[in-house]
Amino acid sequence: METAALKNPLSEGLRLERTPEPCTVIIFGASGDLTMRKLIPALFSLAQQNLLPASFAVVGAARSPFSHDEFRDKMKSAIEEFADVGPQDANLVDSFVSGIYYNPSDPGKPDSFQNLDQLLSQIDKDRGTSGNRLFYLSTPPSLYAPICKALGQVQLHDSKGWTRIIIEKPFGRDLDSMRALNKDVLSVFEEDQVYRIDHYLGKETVQNIMVLRFANSIFEPLWSHHYIEHVQITAAESLGVEKRGGYYEQAGALRDMIQNHLFQVFTLVAMEPPVSLASNDVRDEKTKVVKAIRSFSHEEVPHFARRGQYGAGSINGKPVKGYREEDQVDPQSSTDTYAAVKLCVDNWRWAGTPFYLRSAKRMPKRISEIAIQFKRVPHGLFVDTEASSPTEPNRLIVRVQPDEGITVKFRAKLPGQAINIRNVNMDFDYGTSFGKKSPEAYERLLLDAMLGDSTLFARGDMVEASWELLMPVLDVWSEAAGDKFPNYAAGSWGPKESDDWLGSEERQWRRP
């Protein structure tokens, strides 16, 4: 059971820099890419910033048979390759790596979990980690439920300290599988022990959305259907599926990015002010706004969604192959590499102001942004003014990545005797304003989980509501083969059908 620690909203939400209690982080899927590229480097970076407790250990768990030393060598190489290691860090690398252990673990072999239990007790004795444990499931999703059950069988879900479990996305691949997984996880752990991770919530710019909205007085009065015409949330990537064709074939853009990352961003933009920053107060508001999204039937899907798949094309002048030619991809694949949905939020704040969410691979550039488009002025005083640039609506653009920042786009008079009007920008740029690199999302999220702060993790009810809403799209898309695929060239801004769809609503996709 989770302890009652951190129930004070101020300590929970407005977290000042604190170090967690002594603990052990146990990573399942320890020989995988995520562990080496992100998790271990993030933990090491926390060590560099003195944000880890003095008594701390990491246990790698996977099927492969490594010794402790072999695994330590592997993790040392990962730190050297993927973390920001300076010449002054040599001792720190060695001492960090000396606190790493390995336990061959297979949920099909109960003995291996008994060994894990013994190893963790030994580490508690040797390193003073007090029985506090953070499990991290970074395995293929099919192993999430078996690992939870195996942990439960040896009582590892309940130690003399606190026990928490982080579960990587995807949390289910549709509504039924999400519910089944949730049931399996909750048959072992309590909801407040479960941390469903969505790394977008760890991004500095995403966390800043709440600050932008609720720490300033100038935006909130405009933040509604009275002034906002529509909102576009985009996550575009120039990369293709790289080596993940096998996974991506089962996922597609809607499952991979929209159901989780973009929905999380959407909730932060659209939710009501929470009564406090306590984890459940924030997550209550996020869930409420997802529940306010108008649901649609299978027949209505064409009004609410578009999909696409990239064919051969070029990125930055270099030719790239089409999705169907990628490794581990079916040459007839109907998987979406482009997905866009329209969310109509039926509440007092947003009635009549749609949110469009779009994500795709092989776009011309990597960019994630939120574009809030304001309504036009009620009466055009300057319509007859010559030599003005075409009227662009006012926009507030939150650049999530790269070039993190915020831009306000408005109209201004060009100096001179006549009234010539131009579109201009007012810019805030994280890099120049703060002169400080934003921490990696995984650093913040691992630290929060060690501190017991679940604000930036997805709660089960919201995950369920988002799958529920998207089910008609998934059903319709899986029934109808993508026979018009590929329908956009790599390096373009997506299929014409999607541009036409927005055009039919008298709107246009932004080309950021």
- Residues in touch with ligand BG6 (CB under 6 A): 237, 256, 368
Closest to ligand BG6 by CB, 124 or 237: 237
Residue 466 CA to residue 462 CA, distance in Å, equals 6
Q: Which of 230, 261, 298, 303 is catalytic?
A: 261
First to last CA, the chain: 47
Shortest CB 8 distance to ligand BG6, Å: 31
Shortest CB 28 distance to ligand BG6, Å: 18
DSSP code per residue over 4-46: STT-SHHHHHSPPS-PPPSEEEEEESTTSHHIIIIIHHHHHHH
Bridge partner list, 234: 358, 369
Residue 442 CA to residue 436 CA, distance in Å, equals 17
Closest to ligand BG6 by CB, 287 or 368: 368
Residue 359 CA to residue 488 CA, distance in Å, equals 13
Closest to ligand BG6 by CB, 228 or 463: 463
| Total length of the chain | 512
Instruction: Enter the DSSP assignment of 361.
Output: S
Shortest CB 246 distance to ligand BG6, Å: 13
Closest to ligand BG6 by CB, 347 or 401: 401
Exposure string of 404-425, with b = 16+ CB inside 10 Å and e = fewer, is bbbbebebeeeeeeeebbebee
Shortest CB 80 distance to ligand BG6, Å: 22
What are the DSSP E strand ranges found in 257-390?
305-308, 310-311, 313-315, 318-320, 338-343, 355-360, 367-374
Exposure string of 439-448, with b = 16+ CB inside 10 Å and e = fewer, is bbbbbbbbbb
Shortest CB 412 distance to ligand BG6, Å: 33
Shortest CB 220 distance to ligand BG6, Å: 28
Closest to ligand BG6 by CB, 171 or 501: 171
261 is catalytic: yes
Residue 174 CA to residue 344 CA, distance in Å, equals 21
Closest to ligand BG6 by CB, 229 or 237: 237
Active site residues: 261
